Amino acid sequence: MAELLRSLQDSQLVARFQRRCGLFPAPDAYVQKYIVKNYFYYYLFRFSAALGQEVFYITFLPFIYWNIDPYLSRRLVIIWVLVMYIGQVSKDILKWPRPSSPPVLKLETRVIAEYGLPSTHAMAATAISFTLLISTVDRYQYPFALGLMVAVVFSTLVSLSRLYTGMHTVLDVVAGVLITAVLIALTYPAWTLIDRLDSASPLFLVGVIAVPFFLCYNYPVSDYYSPTRADTTTILASGAGVTIGFWINHFFQLVSEPTQSLPVIRNIPPLTADMVVLSLTKFAVGIVLTLLVRQLAQNLSLQVLYSWFKVLTRNKEARQRLEIEVPYKFVTYTSVGICATTFVPMLHRFLGLL
């Protein structure tokens, strides 16, 4: 009897350790077979779902910075980071399950282990579209009704895609939209402060690094491993890197024409072939350099952490351990943020693309 109790206590200790490290096995996921009956809706909502994923943000946000307006990108990144962090943490605190399958058919597998409420796709889409609308309405001359329609259509398509793909309930989506609306309303008075982050004290950079890293390392513990903590670390680290990059540009005067923080009415320039070619060239150059820095930072940080914790490099599951996953993700995407805001514009200037 005593041996049985000791065995039970040992297993409980192991389970707690696994949860702390994020190694507790996730529920079994299975792939369902399906037949597409309406290809229009299928491709529309699969594409709309991609607008709320990493591939969109890693392209859209840098494109805004490199080709349109750094003033807008600063606001977009900070609000996006805030909204996404609250959404991700809310999921792992509430632990609201995703829709049961069956009856729904789940078309995505990567995030199937995450909880459901709120929908961070809906939160991110709402935050990006309406932050962009609010930030441009008094800065550029264009019909407000047109901007509002684009924001509503964008956020609606992404939100509906979560229902179509079977990843969220209506409650998940509505909660995500409402939470984002409240966050935008509460933070709007501080948006002018966001515009001045690049001129903050050097001590501010310590907080920019320390606070996000602390939040990632003390992320709510889940009963099994899911990509939520890793995604949250990626988001917070990217925001930290972008903020540091803006500060470096201001402090060392790397920006040739300092962006005015106060709204300035501008005319939207006409779209020409030369402008399109230049924009695509700047984007291609920037993405290539950013991906190279990402790969380099990831490899170096993993090598250091594997050596420090004496882990075999071929042990892929070790990346999911708390003490490895958070530092390597944080170093990698902080480097990405700094590269995108500082080194890419320097390369653009060197190549004569500015």
**Annotated active-site positions, please?**
121, 168
Question: Would you tell me how many other CB atoms lie within 10 Å of the CB of residue 145?
Answer: 8
Q: Under a CB-based contact definition with an 8 Å cutoff, are residues 77 and 239 in contact?
A: yes
Q: Rounded to an integer, what distance in angstroms lies between the CA atom of residue 322 and that of residue 209?
A: 18
Half-sphere exposure of 341 (CA within 13 A, CB side): 28
One DSSP character per residue, 295-314 reads HHHHHHHHHHHHHHTT--TT
Retrieve residue 35's tokens. 């037949």
Question: Would you tell me how many other CB atoms lie within 10 Å of the CB of residue 32?
Answer: 12
- The DSSP H or E segment spanning 289 is helix 273-308
Among candidates 132, 133, 124, 135, which has minimal Cα distance to 56?
124
